[in-house]
A and B are shown apart, each in its own frame.
Chain A
């Protein structure tokens, strides 16, 4: 069974601080995605990474896929209160059905 473990589970920081969220597995994934979910809403896709070692930037967010395609990280620079939410990583290990395996999520609270 493929599993994705996220750490930390909870993070509470002040506005302006930097943070990193990790997503780890013992399994290889063909791609990995990050989502953000706000309370009472569905998750929204932030990025997909498909190549080992790939780095993608989305404004203040930097996503990295591990060389072996077993892990990923999300780094936020100078966090803002609007970054508050649940961050989910998800891996595609099962071909063209598009079936994803989700991590448990990291709840981020950014305080003003």
Chain B
């Protein structure tokens, strides 16, 4: 069974901390994505990557950065966590092409206090 694994299910961090969210996929997928999901706002794309060391900004990249040093791993970095970054973070991957769907991880619920 194909898998996308997010390193933490729940995280509590303090304002100003640097936060790393890790995502690993075992499907040799080219494309990986980071979304945040908030009630009433749906899924919003933060960053995506279509190849190793390549990254593209999504709709809400401010306050975030990403790293993709290896094909299977896509990391989301909150440079200086703020309370408005409290959210559910979802990682997804896909081989690309219009017939393929996303495989999502189980999500990381981040609370910034």
Report A's interface with B, CB cutoff 8 A.
Answer: 30-31, 33, 35, 40-45, 48, 50, 88, 90, 92, 96-100, 102-105
Residues of B within 8 A of A30 (CB): 98
* Given A42-B90, A88-B43, A103-B42: A50 and B107 interface contact (C-beta under 8 Å): no
How large, as a class, is the contact surface on chain B?
A: 20 to 34
26 A–B contacts, CB within 8 A, in A order: A30-B98, A31-B98, A31-B99, A33-B102, A35-B104, A40-B9, A40-B107, A42-B92, A42-B107, A44-B104, A45-B101, A45-B103, A48-B99, A48-B100, A90-B102, A92-B98, A96-B97, A97-B48, A97-B96, A98-B50, A98-B102, A99-B33, A99-B45, A102-B43, A103-B42, A104-B40
Are the CB atoms of B50 and A45 closer together than 8 Å? no
List residues of chain A with CB within 8 A of the CB of B61. Answer: none
Q: Which residues of B contact A97 (CB under 8 A)?
A: 31, 48, 50, 56, 96
Q: Out of B40, B96, B109, which one reaches A98, CB within 8 Å?
A: B96
| Least Cβ–Cβ distance between B106 and chain A, in angstroms | 5
Which of chain A's residues have a CB closer than 8 A to the CB of B103? 45
Checking B95, B101, B106 against A42 with a beta-carbon cut-off of 8 angstroms, the contacting residue is B106
Partner of A99, one of B48, B95, B101: B48
Return the chain B residue nearest A29 by Cβ.
B98
Assuming the A-B contacts A41-B106, A41-B107, are A104 and B42 also in contact, with contact meaning beta carbons closer than 8 angstroms in the complex?
yes
Bound CA span A33–B105, Å: 17
Interface string of B54-73 (1 = CB under 8 A from A): 00100000000000000000
Task: Scan residues 2-43 of chain B and give those whose CB is less than 8 A from a CB of chain A.
Answer: 4, 9, 30-31, 33, 40-43
- Inter-subunit contact B99/A43 (CB<8 Å): no
Given A102-B42, A105-B42, A48:B106 Cβ within 8 A? no
Task: Select one of B31, B40, B102 contacting A45, CB under 8 A.
Answer: B102
In the complex, the chain A residue whose C-beta lies closest to that of B32 is: A98
Q: Report the minimal beta-carbon distance from A105 to chain B, rounded to whole angstroms.
A: 6
